[in-house]
Chain A
Amino acid sequence: MNTAQDPQKHEAQLPQKVERQRPRPYAAPRVDVYETKDAYQVVADVPGVSERSLEITIEKDTLTIEAPVEPTRREHRLRLAESVGGGFLRSFALPDGIDRERISATVRNGVLRLTLPKSEAMRPRKIVVQPGA
């Protein structure tokens, strides 16, 4: 895998040890990922998720988004269930050159926005060629 040439975030496997017990199935959220000269932006659809329940972790080179959705308790009978319900989980391999201290995230109307700024060293820069003596 050549992350330098292809900085696209690849789906990463969760480390084997991190097997967790989940009462209900999680779904992989649909995402948009785009890259500007300063940062990567990850936009994920996480309906029903608030900032309180959202967990973003970085372990080695893997960034994981985990967002359980509280089950709705109703006296009604559930007749149709297209929404997975348990929550959202997805991991990405972090490309090189991310300034990990400055990663930021917001959730609004069920949409998670993650900004992964590139470190200074990875930003494109122009080298001025000095005229020869």
Chain B
Amino acid sequence: MTMTHFSHPFGRNQLREFGRMQAEVERLFDHARARLNDSYAPGFPAVNLWTSEDEVVLTADLPGTDPDKIDIAILDDTVTLSGTRASEDVSEGAVIHHRERGFGEFSRSFRLPFRIDVSGVDARYQSGVLEVKLPKAAEDRPRKVPVLTA
């Protein structure tokens, strides 16, 4: 017998509606944050999220960012990526024709459906892509409850 979660006080539809509202609120916040630094495209860095039973893998497109300047903060079920990307060093007297690449500070937060095991987090940076493995905390993993015979 596997016990995954307790029954919820809300009905299924209400729960879904609540999730939708939360996503909408987070989207608006991301927009507001992006507007603080309008050098970047909205939602910089672009992020992909993969999930399995035991972990979430997050990848973020952060080309040309010094890995030492990337900060990954974890609080319960929320992961925040923030950092700084240096602007391009343009020699004096150069004419700038295009400037599309953003620079300066960035920050994005993601809320996962479980708490994160901070000690098991692993982050790598390669070819301008940051990959963070976020394992599920032991207390949020499904547990098998043995049924004892009387």
Contacts and interface: CB of A to CB of B under 8 A. Distances in A.
Tell whether A pairs with B.
yes
Interface string A30-44: 111111110001011
B48 interface: yes
B111 to A, nearest CB: 12
Contact of B94 (A36, A48, A110): A36
Q: What band does the interface of chain A fall in when counting residues whose beta carbon is under 8 Å from B?
A: 35 or more
B129 A34 contact: no
Contacts of B19: none
Interface string B91-133: 1011111111110000000000000000000000101110000
Nearest to B53: A76
Interface stretch (B58-66, B73-81, B138-146): B58-66
B83 interface: no
Contacts of A49: 127-128
Nearest to A45: B63
Contacts, number: 109
Interface size bracket, B side = 20 to 34
B100 A83 contact: no
Interface in A17-56: 30-37, 41, 43-50
A79 interface: yes
A125 interface: no
Nearest to A72: B59
Contact of A48 (B57, B90, B127): B127
A32 B100 contact: yes
A33 B48 CA distance: 28
A37 B93 CA distance: 8
Interface of B: 41, 43, 46-52, 55, 57, 59, 61-65, 88, 90-91, 93-102, 125, 127-129
